[in-house]
Amino acid sequence: MSRYFHRTTAAATEAILAHGFRDGRGRYMTNTEHEGVWLSDRPLDVHEGAEGDTLLAVEVPSDLVEPYEWIEEGKGYREFLVPAALLNAQGKVTIADETEE
């Protein structure tokens, strides 16, 4: 199992912990619509585009997450856009300590 992070709001955290993730949808600076849940290999904040007051940790096998890597040059971290169904079936979600790296 590997540990990934997802930043969100307190209200969304309650829903995620009770009912699981839901896919977000957007173009994400592309011409195609994509959907999934954003995860990163380290905690992100507003400076990296991750907004929200709550940091979630997601324990999930890395071989399930790796195919969904969103590759951009110049970033000091890795991001993944993972289907919610996969995370809900295979992941364990907890509220993370903000100081984790």
Tell me the domain boundaries of the chain. Answer: 2-95
User: Are 35 and 64 a contacting pair, CB within 8 Å?
Assistant: no
pLDDT in tens, 37-78: 999 999 998 888 899 999 999 999 999 999 999 998 888 999
Q: What is the DSSP string of 6-64?
A: EEE-HHHHHHHHHH----EEE-TTSSS-EEEEEEESS---GGGT---SEEEEEEE-HHH
pLDDT at 10: 95
Please tell me the distance from the alpha carbon of residue 11 to that of residue 4, in angstroms, as a whole number.
20
